[in-house]
Amino acid sequence: MAGSAKATEPCRFVVVKDPAMKKKLAATGAYAGWIEDAPILIAIALEGGRMFDAGRVAQNMLIVANAEGLGSCPVTVGDDAGKLLGLPDSHQVAAVIALGHQAPDAETARRTKNPRKPLDEYIHRERWEG
């Protein structure tokens, strides 16, 4: 969980393990095809339009998953994902979190393929420079 604007707590969760449902969810997003192979998906259902609240919940899930030794990745799915999951009309799928155990060399491979930029490329002091 995470704090929410005005303590509205608009997020609810749908845990998806069924292979057929994972495949259907994967088909709803332009870049979500791979999620059907994830062991577990957690759809963050959001009531109202406070996407910031859903982002806070997603970030907490990713941090806890990492602390527990799990791999995780947030995914955007299509607008029809909510109907697929049986959400009420007042809710939408803000994001899906894919969870599973990482391959033993996954972190090393990811860092080698896509190394992080130096911190100074992200930070501007006092004013935006260059």
| pLDDT tens for each residue of 12-52 | 999 999 999 999 999 999 999 999 999 999 999 998 868 88
Distance CA 92, CA 79 (A): 8
Which residues neighbour 19 within 8 Å (Cβ) at sequence distance 6 or greater? Answer: 36
CATH code of 11's domain: 3.40.109.10
The pLDDT of residue 64 is above 80: yes
pTM of the model: 0.82
Tally of CB atoms within 10 A around 47: 17
Question: Cβ distance 44 to 93 under 8 Å?
Answer: yes
60: in domain: yes
79: in domain: yes
86: in domain: yes
48: in domain: yes
The predicted structure's pLDDT at residue 70: 93
121: in domain: no
Beta bridge partners of 43: 14, 96
The pLDDT of residue 97 is above 70: yes
Domains identified in the chain, total number:
1
The pLDDT of residue 109 is above 70: no
The predicted structure's pLDDT at residue 130: 67
Residue 42 corresponds to which tokens in the numbers above? 């957690």
Higher pLDDT, 130 or 85: 85
Q: Domain range spanning residue 56?
A: 5-103
The predicted structure's pLDDT at residue 2: 79
The residue assigned the tokens 């994902």 is 81
Give Cα separations from 108 to 22, 113, 118 (angstroms).
28, 9, 18
The pLDDT of residue 67 is above 80: yes
The pLDDT of residue 3 is above 80: no
CA torsion sign for 52, 110, 97, 68 is negative
The predicted structure's pLDDT at residue 6: 77
122: in domain: no
Question: Cβ distance 105 to 113 under 8 Å?
Answer: no
The pLDDT of residue 113 is above 90: no
Residue 33 corresponds to which tokens in the numbers above? 């095809």
Give Cα separations from 2 to 8, 37, 54 (angstroms).
11, 28, 9
